[in-house]
Amino acid sequence: MKISQKRIVTAYVFLAIPLVFYIVVRFYPMIYAFWLSFTNWRLISPKKDFVGFDNFVKLFKDKVFMTSLWNTIKYVAYGIPLVIVLSLFLAATLNKVRHLQWFYRLLYVMPYITPLVAVSWVWRWIYQRPPAGVLNNILMAFGLDAQPFLTSMDQSLPAIVVTTVWVNLGYCIIIYLAGLQTIPQEYLEAAKIDGATSRQSFFKITLPLLNPITVFLVVTQSITFLRIFTQVYNMTDQGSGGPLNATKPLVLYIYQKAFRSFDMGLASSATVILFMLIMGITLIQLLVLNKRVQY
């Protein structure tokens, strides 16, 4: 046996248990959901009839579905740039300080480790209209007008994006920090000796070396934002994704169809669309971002 063949065998041996796990625990349910998307299964009913593409036709005729599809894209478009840039900036700043670094890290990660239900409740109160809303009280103290936030068609989705960024920021900072720690100091010192400013060395050395981490964060955060659910459910009236569906993401639509209307067929076909959306975005990101590392 050649060495390369031996390596291939080793690789498959290492992957054997995980692959069995994935096939049973993840792929099988996934394929099951794909199959259900072509049926009219009503969850608590024993009947499952094959209906072809009926569910998909129904979906694209449903205004609420189209709104939630569009909202889902908005969550990613607003959230990802914000969370990536902010966390990179904070991690780089944090990496510079010598004292109390661990303490700041702990404070930043606090929102992430707090149960999301509790976080959502607190933010719901922060966004209240007067007299209760903390944010509005601050605005009014500066002589500004009170804002409707969660009861507005335009502001409610960005408000939830801000909460989500606030939750995920600590996670991204920690991962960026772990990446920054693995950059050899010699590289940066060599650049300094060559007369590079700290800004130059950040963009020319640090950022390219961090690329695998950035790829990881962009891809996984995009998936997280595309699957946004808990905070919307807990921050809107009756978990409706309101007002008037202005904040409803796809997963909430799927949830309502499956567990409120028991329309598992329709929920499954919406899941297939969500899957294709996430897969498309992920593949594009992997292609574009991984290319950039080949400088």
- Of residues 150 through 179, those in contact with other proteins by CB under 8 A are 150-153, 166, 169-171, 174-175, 177-179
Which residues, numbered 9-68, are part of the site for other proteins (CB under 8 A)? 10-12, 14-15, 17-19, 21-22, 24-30, 32-33, 40, 42-47
Contact (CB, 8 A) for 211 and 289: yes
Of 125, 130, 154, 149, residue with least CA distance to 141 = 130
Nearest residue (CB) to other proteins, 77 versus 293: 293
User: Residue-wise over 26-48: b if at least 16 C-beta within 10 A, else e?
Assistant: eeeeeeebeebbbbbbeeeeeee
What is the 3 state secondary structure string of 249-286?
CHHHHHHHHHHHCCCHHHHHHHHHHHHHHHHHHHHHHH
Min separation Cβ 239 and other proteins, Å: 8
Binding other proteins by CB under 8 A: which of 76, 83, 119, 218? Answer: 119
Min separation Cβ 42 and other proteins, Å: 5
Task: Give the residues across from 39 on adjacent strands.
Answer: 50
Contact (CB, 8 A) for 247 and 127: no
Binding other proteins by CB under 8 A: which of 77, 132, 284, 288? Answer: 132
Binding other proteins by CB under 8 A: which of 1, 61, 131, 195? Answer: 131
Can you spell out the DSSP letters for 127-161?
A: TPPTTT-HHHHHHHHTTPPP--GGGSTTTHHHHHH
Contact call for residue 284 and other proteins (CB under 8 A): no
Which residues, numbered 246-265, are part of the site for other proteins (CB under 8 A)? 251, 254-256, 258-262, 264
- Rounded Cα–Cα distance for residues 104 and 94 (Å): 8
Contact call for residue 97 and other proteins (CB under 8 A): yes
Contact call for residue 106 and other proteins (CB under 8 A): yes
Q: Using DSSP, state whether 193 is helix, strand or coil.
A: helix
Which residues, numbered 180-219, are part of the site for other proteins (CB under 8 A)? 181-184, 187, 208-209, 212-213, 215-216, 219
Nearest residue (CB) to other proteins, 78 versus 87: 87
